[in-house]
A and B are shown apart, each in its own frame.
Chain A
Amino acid sequence: GEDVEQSLFLSVREGDSSVINCTYTDSSSTYLYWYKQEPGAGLQLLTYIFSNMDMKQDQRLTVLLNKKDKHLSLRIADTQTGDSAIYFCAEVSGGSYIPTFGRGTSLIVHP
């Protein structure tokens, strides 16, 4: 079945860039997503990328997709303390609309 893997923790200094990585196994993945979850809150869709794209930029967020290696990354420029949260990678494959989520990466931003 599908599998989405993420590292569990990332710690960065305020003002630095953060890079959160994700790998997936399903080669028929069509859409890949990044969600943010703050404590006590639901998930917020940050951005998504279609599988025929290599890169997508949206303000401080840059998504890179290496389809050959099934590797997705989210770069957050000028990371702020408000960016501290859990970030989930998710993929939707083939004709499905059901997303498969990773376990989430906990981003800690310290001064």
Chain B
Amino acid sequence: ETGVTQSPTHLIKTRGQQVTLRCSSQSGHNTVSWYQQALGQGPQFIFQYYREEENGRGNFPPRFSGLQFPNYSSELNVNALELDDSALYLCASSLDAGGRTDTQYFGPGTRLTVL
């Protein structure tokens, strides 16, 4: 077990709605990254937060946004949901940003279904 938790486990939404996914990082980890994993695909990097600031972003539109809080929790917000947003959303925490050998500890993910 990595000590990274995510909530909820599963979620069903309809097109056009908004959703907030939550992640609780390992204590002491300053960095959280969010990934989208579509069925049968590898994870795709959405963005990373370091000390409450966005530190890098993948190829995702602005309707994907995030927040990181001082208590090692973070949120992924998605507005105007589309059917293609259906996926497993993973968060991963690590000690520091940009450390390529810095182990990322993944949570179990939130399965989002958009109808």
- A residues sitting closer than 8 Å to B (CB atoms) are 4, 30-31, 40-45, 48, 88, 90, 92, 97-99, 101-104
Q: With A and B bound together, what is the CA distance between A30 and B104 in angstroms? A: 17
- Partner of A40 from the list B4, B45, B108 (CB cut-off 8 Å) is B108
The total of chain B residues at the interface (CB under 8 A) is: 24
Do the beta carbons of A90 and B42 come within 8 Å of each other?
yes
Shortest B30–chain A CB gap in Å is 14
- Partner of A103 from the list B40, B45, B58 (CB cut-off 8 Å) is B40
Collect the chain A residues with CB atoms within 8 Å of residue B40's CB: 103-104
Shortest A38–chain B CB gap in Å is 10
Do the beta carbons of A98 and B2 come within 8 Å of each other?
no
Q: Is the interface of A mostly helix, strand, loop or mixed?
A: strand
With contacts A40-B108, A42-B106 taken as known, whether A31 is within 8 angstroms of B43 at the C-beta atoms is no
Q: With A and B bound together, what is the CA distance between A4 and B45 in angstroms? A: 14
Collect the chain A residues with CB atoms within 8 Å of residue B106's CB: 42-44
- Partner of A101 from the list B42, B100, B109 (CB cut-off 8 Å) is B42
Do the beta carbons of A42 and B41 come within 8 Å of each other?
no
Collect the chain A residues with CB atoms within 8 Å of residue B42's CB: 4, 88, 90, 101-104
Collect the chain A residues with CB atoms within 8 Å of residue B108's CB: 40-42
Do the beta carbons of B45 and A98 come within 8 Å of each other?
yes
Shortest B110–chain A CB gap in Å is 11
Contact with A along B13-39 (1 / 0, CB 8 A): 000000000000000000000000000
Chain B residue at minimal CB-CB distance from A89: B42
Q: B77 interface residue, CB < 8 Å from A?
A: no
